[in-house]
Structure 1
Amino acid sequence: MTIKDTAEEWEVRASGTPFTGKKTSVRTDDVVMPDGSVVRRDYQVHPGSVAVLALDDADRVLVLRQYRHPVRQKLWEIPAGLLDVPGENPLLAAQRELYEEAHVKAEDWRVLTDVYTTPGGCDEAVRVFLARDLYEAEGQRFEVSDEEADMELARVPVDELVRGVLAGELHNNCLVVGVLSLVAARGGDGLDALRPAEAPWPARPFQA
Structure 2
Amino acid sequence: MAIEFKKTAFSGNTPVIWRGECKMLPGGFKPKQTFPIGTVLRRGLFIQVDFNDMTAGVLKLAEVQTGGSTTAPRVPKGHLFAVGDKVQKYGDTKHTTVQSIDTSNADYDVITLAAEITGLAAKDILIESDGQGTAKPAYIPNAVIGADLEFKGTGIPTIDAAYEAVVMFNHLSHPIPADWQQGMCLKSNPNIVLIKQ
The reply to whether TM is greater than 0.5 is no
The structure whose RCO (Cα within 8 Å, separation 6+) is larger is: 2
Instruction: Looking at secondary structure, tell me which structure has more helix per residue.
Output: 1
Place the TM-score, normalised by the shorter chain, in its bin: under 0.3
Question: Normalized against structure 1, the TM-score is what?
Answer: 0.25
Question: Normalized against structure 2, the TM-score is what?
Answer: 0.26
